């Protein structure tokens, strides 16, 4: 179990550190292929195709990226403080323990509400 978690952690750090090249060389061309149906079909059928620029980019110093990083750091430090304090974690997770009733209907409802929330966020 530890080895798999270490491998996943290394992968997360690697993709985080190398996000720019990954987006430029992998995600960008994939998006360009999907946004150009004729070019995608030609490429899928084996014809050499020049894909247009997808307009997908990733920059570490972009304002929205910096805000997301700051929010993640603040939440991470807050969770660390909660973990160090011990009993606060138990109080903070008490609502979660109450939600875990063991009823499959409850879990199906949670999954449904979660999917609706994600789809709503993606479609807006």
Domain ranges of the chain: 2-90, 93-124
Per-residue model confidence (pLDDT) at position 93:
73
Q: Which residues contact 57 (CB under 8 A, 6 or more apart)?
A: 23, 24, 28
Report the distance separating Cα 63 and Cα 55, nearest Å. 18
Per-residue model confidence (pLDDT) at position 87:
66
Residue stretches of the chain with pLDDT short of 70: 86-90, 92
Per-residue model confidence (pLDDT) at position 62:
81
Runs of H (alpha helix) within the chain: 2-17, 19-22, 28-35, 37-44, 63-85, 87-92, 94-99, 104-123
Per-residue model confidence (pLDDT) at position 37:
80
């Amino acid at each position: 179990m530890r080895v798999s978690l270490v491998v996943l952690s290394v992968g997360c750090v690697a993709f985080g550190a190398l996000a720019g090249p990954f987006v430029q060389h992998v995600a960008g061309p994939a998006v360009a292929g999907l946004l150009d149906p004729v070019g995608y079909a030609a490429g899928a059928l084996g014809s050499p195709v020049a894909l247009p620029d997808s307009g997908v980019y990733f920059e570490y110093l972009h304002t929205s990226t910096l805000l997301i990083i700051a929010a993640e750091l603040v939440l991470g430090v807050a969770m660390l403080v909660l973990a160090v304090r011990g009993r606060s974690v138990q109080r903070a997770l008490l609502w979660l323990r109450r939600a875990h009733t063991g009823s499959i209907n409850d879990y199906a409802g949670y999954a449904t509400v979660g999917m609706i929330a994600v789809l709503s966020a993606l479609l807006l």
